[in-house]
Amino acid sequence: MALVSAAVDAVLRDLEVFGRENDAHTADRNRKMLNLERETAELVHILIRTGNRRRVLEIGTSNGYSTLWIAAALGENGILETLDRDGDKLAEARRNLARAGLDGRVRVYHGAGTDIVAALPGPFDCVFFDADRVSAPDQLALLLPKLTRGCLLLADNALSHPDQIAGYVAAVEALPGVSTTILPVGKGLHVTCCP
């Protein structure tokens, strides 16, 4: 039995082909989709779904690949808020969510991550950091009062970009009572269980 419905999987498979071809032939990093590896996306989906998460924030939507995986994990009562500074990618993400029938449970915001994080009221029971990494510590500080007990924090690129993610890792590991690990999946998923 697949993790997601055939309709959602069809969109995901199309995005995987598009992302691979686009990113291989695009020199400008801003035009690359930089989607999660499928195995990382599956793990994020499973963590959110089995943890019964209901209010998720994603920082770094791109064209919606991980967004689809997260939205599909939420069920009818969950809400995913996702943001990106690139309006063209967000337009694609909106189209992809609608095509997969998941747009009803996703709010999409356009702008600088830290500004949007400051404005969103929360609460969040899961946050997925997948944007520029260096602004993640500031975003984490803004989010702290908006996190539920037992919140799950996820951040990609823990193994591929250890220098860039070091500030986030230091900030999160300094929080009282947290448990953290890095799962060696894809580019390395940093996982934090909040008390």
Our finding on whether 96 is near ligand SAM (CB under 6 A) is: no
- State the pairing for strand pair 79-84/189-193: unpaired
Comparing CA positions, the residue from 60, 68, 64, 67 lying closest to residue 4 is: 68
Which region, left, alpha or beta, applies to residue 75 given φ > 0 means left and ψ of -120 to 50 means alpha?
A: left
d(CA 139, CA 146): 11
Our finding on whether 190 is near ligand SAM (CB under 6 A) is: no
Q: Which residues within the stretch 140-179 sit at the binding site for ligand SAM (CB under 6 A)? A: none
Our finding on whether 125 is near ligand SAM (CB under 6 A) is: no
Our finding on whether 112 is near ligand SAM (CB under 6 A) is: yes
Q: How many residues bind ligand SAM (CB under 6 A)?
A: 18
The burial of 120, by beta-carbon neighbours within 10 Å (0-12 exposed, 13-18 middle, 19 or more buried), is given as middle
Our finding on whether 49 is near ligand SAM (CB under 6 A) is: no
**53-92 mask for ligand SAM (x: CB under 6 A)?**
-------x-x--xx----------------xxxx--x---
Measured from the CB atom, the residue of 125 and 156 that comes closer to ligand SAM is 156
d(CA 89, CA 50): 29
Contacts with ligand SAM by CB under 6 A lie at 34-36, 60, 62, 65-66, 83-86, 89, 112-113, 130-132, 135
